[in-house]
Structure 1
Amino acid sequence: MALAVLVFDRTGSALATAAVYALTYLPSIVGGPLLAGLADRFARRGVMLACDLVRAALVGVMAVPGMPFWSLCALVFLVVLLGAPFSAARAALLPEVLEGDAYVLGSALQNMTNQAVQMLGFAAGGALIATMGPHRALALDAATFLGSALILISGVRRRPAAHQHGGKLSMWSMTASGARLVFGSRHLRTLVLFAWLCGFYILPEGIAAPYAARLATDGLPVPVITGLLMAAMPAGTVVGAFLYSRFVSPPRRLRLMGWMAVLSCAPLIVTALRPPLAVVLAAWVLSGVGGAYQLAANAAFVQYVPAERRAQAFGLVQSGLMAVQGIGILVGGFAAERLGPEPVVALAGAAGVIGAAVLSLMWTEARDKSAQVGAEATA
């Protein structure tokens, strides 16, 4: 938010502001496959610390008044690029800290915390920028990376590198090896596609503003309705993650994963009827509840990936997630200009339901075949 305000104040250009925002997607798509393997080659805690310290320095430079526009673009690209190995290291390290079902509960807690803090950040960020100005807000942002590094030093013990022989492989070799691992296994390939299904149910958030303009008939201003729409799915995800992790047993989570994936998309179809705001919000919250199936997919993914190659695998999946979200939002915005937001959201929901149904059949078949092979081996 601070960067968007700073760029718009400096240039007065909506295109320049949008271009800088678009830069937050590109580095993750590029950097995930190439840099995520660093968290397998080197100690994961060390990778996270290095990323935090370098990002603190980069954001600190962004906070210097008078930085040229091209410098801001380069700095934000590097900051987001370093998020790829950090996220991969954190995702790979969590199963080492939490084992068994504790990992699912920990993932749910992390998911709920992320969603809640994201909503709080959007609400409080604007007030901070208005009070402090964008430069001081960016300086505060730099300090948060240092705070993260201190938490890692004090709260996470040192562990050796997971891949003891990773130094003999180039980044390209590790990326290619990770791709073969993820997409060469039927189980992993299906789980990855389950994760990427979010491109369908995330799409509505990208066209929340034009949708809000259509719904602004109840006396509420468009920005308020936009905020309600964008907060609806994260709110549903928080509820779904809590219920799914707390009250559903691990084996049942895997059996319900397909149905929950369908639920993440099916409620969006109701928008084709052009319902009032209350119904739309309820549908989007319900869609967020269904999105909790990602917890089961994530836990199963961890089980099938060797620990020493986990970071590279997570990095590839995360890059794909960023790509499908960015492409989905781009396609949704393009289509909404021609068809209107309501039919686009409904079409995304219908396409997502079809995709979820196909993936459910693939997952059931893969599980049944795996169980049959296990039974024959035991016999």
Structure 2
Amino acid sequence: MNSRSSLLKQEKGYRQLFLAGLVNGLGDRFSQVASLSLILSLTGSGMAVGITFAVRLIPNLVFGPLGGMLADRFSRKKIMVLSDLIRAFVALSFLFVHQASDIWIVYVSSFFLSAGEAIYAPTRTSSIPILVSKERLLSVNGLEERMVGLVLILGSITGGVVAAFVGTTFSFIVNAVSFVLSAFLLGAIVFPESHFGDTGQQHSTKKRSSQLSKTWKEWLTVWRSSRFVRAMMMGSMMWPIGYGVFNILLSVYAVQVYEQGDLGIGLMYGSLGFGMVIGSSVTARFMDNMKIAVVTGFILEGVLHMGMSQVPNFGLAIILLLCSALCSSVANACNHTLLMQAVPGRFQGRFFGLMSAMYNTIMGVTMLSAGFMLEIMSPRMLGLLGGLVIMIVSVGMTFIVLTDKSHANHE
């Protein structure tokens, strides 16, 4: 813990970004738990819940690449602050939902909150290598995984307790306040004057055709830069198939397979968070073997998901879930670090925007498909297939990644 505190003290710009992400994530978890509770209490409809999830995933396809494009052309700080302030007002719109006929407000608001997140996410990711020194990049990406784990643990559990005992109204207000606080924290960040996101005037004077041509050439340059980059881009189109199945099955395992009810759901999400926190604490040990850590971590994650789908008792499933989250945390931190080193800084917004759009869109389609597949096969069989997909894709990537002789040491 001391090393993490020291890291945040040394990287002052990232410290504000980290705290803003933590506050933002906790508020979002509060809102998610409360909105699902509100939908079910007013409509009792599983279809309404499905529509809400679908509405939250649709914006990624359009607004993810848009957010990346904006991040490469304008001030990243202004984009993130504006995104948070707009979402603060949108978050309050849930307060006007009082009966089943008002449920359309949930759909519309969920769409705009997701659109804001799709713009915010690649802008935030592409800001990290600007604010952080290269030698600390892996440690910072490990800290990012820890933040996600903490949000899962604290946000899901606390959000559920607050929604149950205080009411959903308070949860929606907390979410709105979290956006305002996040905007305040982001506004205090001092970006280097030379960072590529502050060149809006330069880009706005160029002809559209010239800009499109330049963007296409940059994509080709990134694609050809290394086998690792190509492998991760292809993986981002295939791994979400397995992860989409896993996201759907987490609650199904707890309630239907192991019959642990709502407590089981909380324990599963809690173990997922704890695994990510533990994994984030060991990422620095893989500084000299990041590529090996990426492929090994994802392969083990797939194997562990397969095992979790077949174990006979809930306790063992929890242990395997924690271990899979640990492997995923290490692999993701190393993967993000290598990509940040390999992709040119002036292009990182668009790169991470497209990666995010592909990943979330494919995972959304898979989640929808998995819901239908549960009608024709057991959760255990579907989980086995999902883990098998993750493992096979990871094994396929291993040869490509480990035979890549290029070094991710670009600007």
One of 115, 126, 129 as aligned partner of 2:160 = 126
What corresponds to 1:231 in structure 2?
270
One of 317, 323, 327 as aligned partner of 1:286 = 323
One of 21, 45, 48 as aligned partner of 1:13 = 45
One of 339, 344, 351 as aligned partner of 1:306 = 344
Structure 2 counterpart of 1:60, one-letter code: L
1:364 correspondence with 2:402: yes
1:116 correspondence with 2:116: no
One of 248, 251, 276 as aligned partner of 1:206 = 248
Structure 2 counterpart of 1:189, one-letter code: R
Deviation at 1:2, TM superposition (A): 2.0
What corresponds to 1:341 in structure 2?
379
Q: Which moved more, 1:257-266 or 1:142-151?
A: 257-266
Deviation at 1:145, TM superposition (A): 0.6
1:75-111: CA deviation from partner (whole Å, max 9, x where unpaired): 2211210112211111111111112131111111121
1:30-66: CA deviation from partner (whole Å, max 9, x where unpaired): 2101232111110111111111111112212333455
1:333-354: CA deviation from partner (whole Å, max 9, x where unpaired): 3333322111221222222221
How far apart in 2 are the matches of 1:244 and 1:25?
A: 30
One of 81, 84, 90 as aligned partner of 1:49 = 81
Q: 1:182 to 1:68 in 2, by over 3 A?
A: farther
What corresponds to 1:105 in structure 2?
139
Deviation at 1:214, TM superposition (A): 4.7
What corresponds to 1:192 in structure 2?
233
What corresponds to 2:279 in structure 1?
240
Say whether the 8 Å CA contact 2:130–2:195 is kept in structure 1: no
Structure 2 counterpart of 1:234, one-letter code: G
Structure 2 counterpart of 1:244, one-letter code: T
Q: 1:145 to 1:29 in 2, by over 3 A?
A: same
Say whether the 8 Å CA contact 2:97–2:106 is kept in structure 1: no
How far apart in 2 are the matches of 1:275 and 1:65?
A: 42
Say whether the 8 Å CA contact 1:44–1:161 is kept in structure 2: no
1:4 correspondence with 2:36: yes
How far apart in 1 are the matches of 2:264 and 2:43?
A: 28
What corresponds to 2:293 in structure 1?
256
How far apart in 2 are the matches of 1:70 and 1:175?
A: 38
Q: Which moved more, 1:266-275 or 1:135-144?
A: 266-275
Deviation at 1:183, TM superposition (A): 4.5
How far apart in 1 are the matches of 2:307 and 2:93?
A: 47
Q: Which moved more, 1:101-110 or 1:153-162?
A: 153-162
Say whether the 8 Å CA contact 1:104–1:295 is kept in structure 2: yes
1:266 correspondence with 2:266: no
How far apart in 2 are the matches of 1:71 and 1:273?
A: 41
How far apart in 1 are the matches of 2:114 and 2:373?
A: 28
Please give the TM-score of this superposition, normalised by the length of structure 2. 0.80
How far apart in 2 are the matches of 1:46 and 1:160?
A: 15
What corresponds to 1:377 in structure 2?
none
* Structure 2 unmatched runs, 5+: 1-32
How far apart in 1 are the matches of 2:41 and 2:299?
A: 43
Deviation at 1:274, TM superposition (A): 4.1
Q: Which moved more, 1:268-277 or 1:114-123?
A: 268-277
How far apart in 2 are the matches of 1:134 and 1:265?
A: 36
Q: Which moved more, 1:39-48 or 1:55-64?
A: 55-64
* Structure 1 unmatched runs, 5+: 375-379
How far apart in 1 are the matches of 2:46 and 2:310?
A: 33
Structure 2 counterpart of 1:335, one-letter code: M
Say whether the 8 Å CA contact 1:62–1:75 is kept in structure 2: yes
Q: Percent identity?
A: 21
Deviation at 1:264, TM superposition (A): 1.2
Deviation at 1:180, TM superposition (A): 4.6
Q: Which moved more, 1:60-69 or 1:150-159?
A: 60-69
One of 74, 79, 89 as aligned partner of 2:113 = 79
Q: Which moved more, 1:109-118 or 1:4-13?
A: 4-13
Deviation at 1:240, TM superposition (A): 1.7
Structure 2 counterpart of 1:71, one-letter code: I
Q: Which moved more, 1:355-364 or 1:272-281?
A: 272-281
Structure 1 counterpart of 2:55, one-letter code: L
How far apart in 2 are the matches of 1:50 and 1:228?
A: 36
Q: Which moved more, 1:325-334 or 1:338-347?
A: 325-334
Say whether the 8 Å CA contact 1:108–1:295 is kept in structure 2: yes
1:269-299: CA deviation from partner (whole Å, max 9, x where unpaired): 2246443222222222221122121111111
What is the DSSP-based 3-state SS (H/G/I as helix, E as strand, rest coil) of the residue aligned with 2:133? coil
Q: Which moved more, 1:202-211 or 1:112-121?
A: 202-211
Say whether the 8 Å CA contact 1:207–1:333 is kept in structure 2: no
How far apart in 1 are the matches of 2:272 and 2:207?
A: 41
Q: Name the count of aligned residue pairs.
A: 365
Say whether the 8 Å CA contact 1:207–1:329 is kept in structure 2: no
Deviation at 1:69, TM superposition (A): 3.0
